[in-house]
Amino acid sequence: MKRALITGITGQDGLYLAELLLSKGYRVFGLIRGQNNPKYELVERTVPAVTLLTGDLTDLSSLIRAFAVAQPDEVYNLGAISFVAYSWDNAHLTTDVTGKGVLNILEAARLYAGDNIESIRFYQASSSEMYGKVQQVPQSESTLLWPRSPYGVAKVFGHYMTINYRESYGMHASSGILFNHESPRRGPEFVTRKVSQAVARISLGLQDEIVMGNLDSKRDWGFAGDYVEAMWLMLQQDEADDYVVSTGETHSIHELLDVAFNEVGINEWRDLVKQDPRFLRPAEVDLLIGDSAKAKNRLGWTPKVGFHELISMMVKNDVAEQKALANL
Ligand code: GDP
């Protein structure tokens, strides 16, 4: 029975990955942060077979302890402060967790493996936010990185540190450059879930309008459930490497609103959407579109759920959830 340690177990990717690994017969350990973490119960309810260990990416000794208990064959570092807009207000904390946290967990892995470095395989959750002010369209593994937020800068540090451990110590350390990926489990601070929740509430008469930021930016949105398969596949290869994981399609926030409102039968939504500078960012990533040819050719990975299906799934889920919450 293989053993896996997942950081960021409370997020959408952590939950989907835990389900995938459990279905493959893994013993799964999840690192959970902080006293009285309100998400503890969510993880226990969703994936009760996962063993939760207390630890923090900023605390190396807690990671060393987690490795001693989990004795993992595979480590998936999904933990991060992941909301881009928040990272300007908390740049140091984002750097410590999302950036230096990667160094901490790589170091914990190296110390744990000792002379037997090939006994451990490591996955780093890199991000399309690293492309920022995009230098090439579409973006591939060799596109110059030009991050546009403290979050993106921290992710670049983690990305290169992962490559550095691979090259310096021969660690099987891979990095997945994942483009935006969403699901009904996505946090409501992200734009897809914000829209799916608001559209559901508007359709049920529970809310009048939705207040948004920049409607012109474009993202390459995929389904998180598909993307965790790519993570696992990377660690099953003979050689560690870096892979872009994306759909290769890009859509604007306008299109997102179109699809979401259409799902509940509203075709004319302009009057229902207000814009507020509060949701604009000091610097914006305008156009993300990924070239995942390498993942397709080497891993045999392709996304299954398309944009329309994804947004429809999220809106349907939120309609059901909001109905239940409002006792409708
Ligand atoms: P990100 O790509 O990791 O920053 O994911 P988000 O889902 O937070 O944002 C995606 C894009 O949607 C960005 O270009 C935002 O500027 C844009 N956007 C427009 N309005 C909103 C909003 O109200 N909330 C969020 N989160 N993003 C918005």
* pLDDT tens digit sequence for 77-86: 999 999 999 9
Question: 40 and 19, same structural domain?
Answer: yes
What burial class does residue 284 get, using C-beta atoms within 10 Å of its C-beta: 0-12 exposed, 13-18 middle, 19+ buried?
middle
* Parallel/antiparallel/unpaired status of strands 251-252 and 218-219: antiparallel
Q: Which residues are catalytic?
A: 127, 129, 151
Please choose, from the candidates 229, 184, 181, the residue with its C-alpha nearest in 3D space to the C-alpha of residue 21.
229
Say whether pLDDT at 22 is over 90.
yes
Does a structural domain hold residue 292? no
Distance 273 CA to ligand 1 centre (A): 15
Atom 12 in ligand 1: residue holding the nearest Cα: 191
- Predicted pLDDT at 126: 98
Does a structural domain hold residue 300? no
Does a structural domain hold residue 293? no
Atom 9 in ligand 1: residue holding the nearest Cα: 191
Question: 112 and 40, same structural domain?
Answer: yes
Atom 25 in ligand 1: residue holding the nearest Cα: 191
Q: Of 98, 191, 310, which is best to mutate to test ligand 1, by the most ligand atoms within 8 angstroms of its C-beta?
A: 191
Say whether pLDDT at 328 is over 90.
no
> What's the pTM?
0.97
The CATH number that applies at residue 9 is 3.40.50.720
- Name, in order, each residue with C-beta under 8 angstroms of 168's C-beta and a sequence gap of 6 or more: none
Question: 17 and 143, same structural domain?
Answer: yes
State whether residue 178 is helix, strand or coil: strand
**pLDDT confidence band for 175 (50 / 70 / 90):** very high
**pLDDT confidence band for 294 (50 / 70 / 90):** very high
Which phi and psi (to 5°) does residue 194 adopt? -60, -45
For residue 212, which atom of ligand 1 is closest to its CA? 23
H or E, element range at 31: strand 27-32
For residue 213, which atom of ligand 1 is closest to its CA? 20
For residue 182, which atom of ligand 1 is closest to its CA? 7
For residue 192, which atom of ligand 1 is closest to its CA? 7
Ligand 1 binding site (Cβ under 6 Å of any ligand atom): 84-85, 129, 180, 189-191, 194, 212-214, 217, 219, 253, 279, 281, 284
Question: 276 and 143, same structural domain?
Answer: no
Atom 4 in ligand 1: residue holding the nearest Cα: 84
* pLDDT tens digit sequence for 246-283: 999 999 999 999 999 999 999 999 999 999 999 998 98
Question: 201 and 52, same structural domain?
Answer: no
Distance 190 CA to ligand 1 centre (A): 6
Range of 310's domain? 187-219+250-285+306-325
State whether residue 222 is helix, strand or coil: strand
* pLDDT tens digit sequence for 202-223: 999 999 999 999 999 999 999 9
Distance 92 CA to ligand 1 centre (A): 21
- Name, in order, each residue with C-beta under 8 angstroms of 115's C-beta and a sequence gap of 6 or more: none
Over range 161-187, report the average pLDDT: 98
The CATH number that applies at residue 211 is 3.90.25.10
Does a structural domain hold residue 32? yes
Q: Which amino acid is at 312?
A: S
Distance CA 194, CA 208 (A): 14
Distance 322 CA to ligand 1 centre (A): 22
Does a structural domain hold residue 297? no
* pLDDT tens digit sequence for 66-116: 999 999 999 999 999 999 999 999 999 999 999 999 999 999 999 999 999
Q: In total, how many domains does the chain have? A: 2
Does a structural domain hold residue 129? yes
Distance CA 15, CA 235 (A): 18
Say whether pLDDT at 286 is over 90.
no
Question: 67 and 31, same structural domain?
Answer: yes
H or E, element range at 256: helix 253-263
Atom 1 in ligand 1: residue holding the nearest Cα: 84
